[in-house]
Every structure is written in C-alpha cells, then in structure tokens.
Amino acid sequence: MAATLTEPTVLAAAKDTLYPDLDTSSDHYAVTETQFTKPNWGGWEIPDELRRRLAPYNTIRLADGEPDLLGVGMPALEVLNADATTTPVAVIEAKGHNNDPSAADVRTGIDQAHGHLSEVNIGYVAAPIQSISDQARALARDLNIGVIGVESPYDATLIEPARVTGVGDFSTTIDAIRFQATTHRLTEGSFPVNHPKNYLGYALAADGDTADIYSEYVINSVSGGRRGAILLGLVDNRPDGETLTHLGAEVVRFARTQHGTVDAALDEFASWKGRSTPFTDLAPRWAQFARSVAIQYDPTQLIIEALERLHQRGINPATIDDVAREACRINQPLTVEVFFTQSRREDILTADGDIDESVLIDPTVYKSGIHFQFKYHLRHIGLLTEGGTDDKDEVLSSEWTLNQAVGL
C-alpha cells in the first residue's frame, strides 16, 4: 500500500488548512521543525513539493519538547475563546502512518500538544481522519486541544475546535518566531531603507498627506520608509489606520526641539537628499537619536552582542560568517530568521536543528538586507565602521567592526 498520510503529509495538510493565506497575510507566519528536512520519513522519500509546502524551517525547542510546527496569528478555523488574544501562538503535533492511516497515534499527539500550553496559546493535533476515535475527541476537548482530521494530502477538516488558553513567559524560540511574524512581510529578505533619516522622516510626515510630504522632503520610496518606520517601532499599522507610537511621537518632539517646527525639520531633511556622508557627520544629534531607536530593535542587539563577544576573543575585524556563527550561539532561532533566506534554510539547518557551519561561507545563504541595507544603516548611526555591500562576491570579505567596543 503506497504511503499517503505520512506524518509530513498530515502536517502539510493541517498547515494549509489552519493558515491558508500565509503568502499574502501580513500578520501570519509559520515555521516547521527541522526534523522534517530529512530526505525520508521511515523509509518513505519526502517529495520536493511537500518540502516546499512545509517550508520555512527553524529549530523549535520548547520546554516540553519540539512541536512539529509553530504558527503565529489567528487560525482560519473556529477557535474557542478567540477574543482572549489577537495574535495567538499555536503548535501543531502531527501524527500519521506510512502504511495504515487508521493506526496513527492520536492520543500521544494530544498529550504532546497539551504539554506545550504553558508556552503557547493554542494546541492542535493533526491526524488521518480514520484514526480519530470518539475517545480521542473527548480527551482533546478536556485538554482544550483542537483536532484536525486529514482526509487526503491536500484536504483536512476541523473535528474539534481548540480553545485559547493563558500563557506564561514566551521562550527564546517563540520570541524569535513572533518577531519574524511581525516583520517578514515588511522585510521580505531585505531591510527596506539603508539611511536612518528615511524612517525618521516618515514619522515627521505622518501628520497630514503622508505620501506627498514624504516623497517631497525625504525620498520617493514611500513604501520603504513606511516599512522601516513600522519595523523600528515608530509607527503602528492598525486596522483603522497608521498611528505614531510613543517612540514615533518622540521623533516629532525631538524635531521641534532641534528645529522649532516639524516643517523646519522637514526642510532640513530635504537638504540631506542624495548625501552619502555618514549621518554621524551630517547630523550628529539626529544620528544619536536614530541610534537610540535602532538599539531597541532585536536584530541590532543581536549583532552588537555578537560583535562584542568576537572582539573579546580577538576576532576583529569579523566577517559575516563570524557574526552569524556567534549570533547563533546567542539566539539561534532569531539568527536564522534575521540572517538567512527562507529558500536556503534546509541547507543551513540539520535535521537535528543544529547549524551546518560549513554552509556559512556560502554568500548566497544570507539575506541581502543583512549585508547591504541594514549594515549601511548601522554604519550611518555610528555603530559599525563600514557600510554594506550588495555584491555577493564581496559579502564574505566585507568587514564587521564596532566603532566603540565596550569590552576593550
């Protein structure tokens, strides 16, 4: 009998059913555990098309084990007590069988999903529909676990709805996935702006006809400035429209302190158009303010900590593979989300969830945003000595050095 409802197949069907709009939704994201990057599953070769459906991958290590999939955002199916959270974190534990779909171990999947509820909001078990007994459904209801019945490699249905539960502190892994959930549609592999004035200017232009003001006084790429302002926490993109955050409002206050009025500040911003002079030289006070904004951004903190550690060990200057390797030691899930393209994660991550360090010297595994736009950004605010490069032939030789290392 040909294998049809193996565990990877069941997981892909459940993922597609719970999160059907991942390619277009700005507030949903899901990653599959790296064990599913193995070439075969119990002797069954995992097809390339199924691998693509399960991508992207990351290491998912929670206190009670490694769930098969971690998703952020409200699932498309019915969820009980859904009003308790707007952006829930969910796990899926998949159970299948290479030969007999009715023999899938659903009860174990329910227990595994329930074990993760101290760290996530929603738990699901997915299994071939013929393996789901009335007793399993009753157990799932008692434990607030949702049940997804998989009928074919592409079809699944909700058997029991999950219930949103309370959750304690998020783990490092979940924090990293939540971070990427809020940014992956904004970055799409590339940091949107490489000069801090471009996102600061968006906050100044936010009062009024933002697009016209921004393109006249800052840069023409309004979408890039907007994405940068959202990423760095200056603007909150709400369903009812954009609004300045507390940090974004501080940009306006700072502009008035420095220039008297926002209009005068925008005139100054306009005079900086096309200037390649480091921001620290062009406008030192604004550069210092931009630095205080950027240092609150998780990837900035990750890179700076990695460079500090490398400096203390005498690795100075560092290269991008040095930085990525050290960053993985600090926070591997976040490093994977920030540094590496989704299409190459199967090459970077082993099936056991470790980093294959031999691949770090391949410049094509890195997002252009990390070695081009974001590196330039860090140089403009005085954190790094050199800007970035968009030439893949230069990525590995481009130097990463802190202007002022704390650990002298």
Longest dimension (CA), the chain: 77
Q: How far is it, in rounded angstroms, from Cα 1 to Cα 357?
A: 40
Model confidence pLDDT, tens digit, residues 148-166: 999 999 999 999 999 998 6
Model confidence pLDDT, tens digit, residues 207-261: 778 889 999 999 988 888 888 898 888 998 776 778 999 999 999 999 999 999 9
Name, in order, each residue with C-beta under 8 angstroms of 167's C-beta and a sequence gap of 6 or more.
89, 117, 118, 119, 120, 121
DSSP 64: T
Q: Which pairs from 324-327 meet CB under 8 Å and 24+ separation? A: 324/360, 324/366, 325/355, 325/357, 325/360, 327/302, 327/303
Range in 32-41, 63-72, 196-205, 207-216 the model is least confident about: 207-216
How large is the C-alpha radius of gyration of the chain? 23
Q: Are strands 69-72 and 29-33 parallel, antiparallel or unpaired?
A: antiparallel
Q: How far is it, in rounded angstroms, from Cα 177 to Cα 348?
A: 17
Q: Give the pair of three-digit tokens for residue 358.
A: 């031999």
Neighbours of 274 (CB within 10 A): 6
Q: What is the pLDDT of residue 2?
A: 56
Q: How far is it, in rounded angstroms, from Cα 348 to Cα 346?
A: 6
Q: For residues 210 and 222, is the Cβ–Cβ distance under 8 A?
A: yes
Q: How far is it, in rounded angstroms, from Cα 85 to Cα 374?
A: 32
Q: How far is it, in rounded angstroms, from Cα 89 to Cα 14?
A: 15
- Helix, strand or coil, per DSSP, at residue 125: strand
Q: What pTM was estimated for this model as a whole?
A: 0.80
Q: What is the pLDDT of residue 62?
A: 87
Model confidence pLDDT, tens digit, residues 277-300: 999 999 999 999 999 999 999 899
Centroid of chain to Cα 107 = 31
